[in-house]
Amino acid sequence: MDTPDPPRSGISEDELHALVDGRLAPEAAAALRLRLAADPEATTTAAAWGAQREALRALYGPIAESPLPASLVAAAEHAQKVQTQAAQWWRWGGMAAAVLLAFGVGWFLGGRWDIAHGGFAATGASQARHFAQQAAVAHAVFQPEVRHPVEVTAAQQEHLVQWLSKRLNRPLKVPVLTAQGYELVGGRLLPGDEGARAQFMYQNAAGQRITLYLGALKPGSSDGNATAFSFLDSGSVPGFYWVDHGFGYAIEGQLPRAALHELASAVYAQL
């Protein structure tokens, strides 16, 4: 994660993390806040980390509190049963039984385990929606950054576009959102399920930031040629997303739905 530079005062990075994470005793936290009052740089760093923590908590809090999907519970119960049988079969039949069991487990999990991504695949889950959730996470992580919100600034826009176009293997264009009150801050390269992803960040005169996240989706996806806008409200990071010829786009920001729709329309018209 790209974060503000560690403070150069006597306050260490570990102390700041402990404060932001709520791991300090009340007396220690109070004493550290008194020291922060005399260190504006450390205060700015702590505030940025705190904003990231709250944004990610708002984004994934409902998921952590929701019950496990029935299919996942069933698979776990089956795996436990298979493990018990394995111990019995090992005692009874030795290596031959273990080989047979391994084949059976692989067959059972074949339709439920996503080998490429190392996890259980959500039944009927939209790949485009998953793309939008990744965009929301990227926004929550980098939007609060004070010193390093982007890798390449708008002052090097030509280099930025050439670099990201090469990494995403597709000619990219940076939409102009001046009419909507936003100027380009810059962009960065991010990892994605199907290769590289790009994020462009914009900011208005009030300091509000929005991000445009884009990248290829898996070939053959049922979402591959859809172009209609879809709205995703992931806690504190709402956004609109769409797919055009296998390429996904998501505009994210802490703005009203109508304002985000206007921005998404402006981006779509230019791409």
Q: Which is more confidently placed, 156 or 66?
A: 156
**Mind listing the pLDDT tens digit for each residue in 100-157?**
444 344 434 443 434 344 443 433 347 888 889 899 999 999 999 888 899 999 999 9
Which has the minimum average pLDDT: 31-45, 83-97, 216-230? 83-97
Locate the DSSP E strands across the chain: 113-114, 119-120, 152-153, 183-192, 195-203, 209-216, 230-234, 237-244, 247-253
For residue 31, give Cα distances in angstroms to 23, 36, 264: 14, 9, 46
Question: What is the domain partition of the chain in residue ranges?
Answer: 13-65, 70-120, 127-270
Average confidence (pLDDT) over 80-95: 53
State residue 104's pLDDT score. Answer: 45
Task: Decide if 21 contacts 196 (C-beta within 8 A).
Answer: no
Task: Decide if 172 contacts 165 (C-beta within 8 A).
Answer: yes
**Mind listing the pLDDT tens digit for each residue in 237-258?**
899 999 988 899 999 999 999 9
Q: 127-270 belongs to which homologous superfamily? A: MucB/RseB, C-terminal domain (3.30.200.100)
Evaluated on CA atoms 173, 199, 228, 166, the torsion sign reads positive
Q: How far apart are CA 102 and CA 107, in angstroms?
A: 9
Q: Which is more confidently placed, 30 or 58?
A: 30
Q: Which is more confidently placed, 63 or 218?
A: 218
Q: Is the model's pTM score more than 0.75?
A: no
**Mind listing the pLDDT tens digit for each residue in 124-136?**
347 888 889 899 9
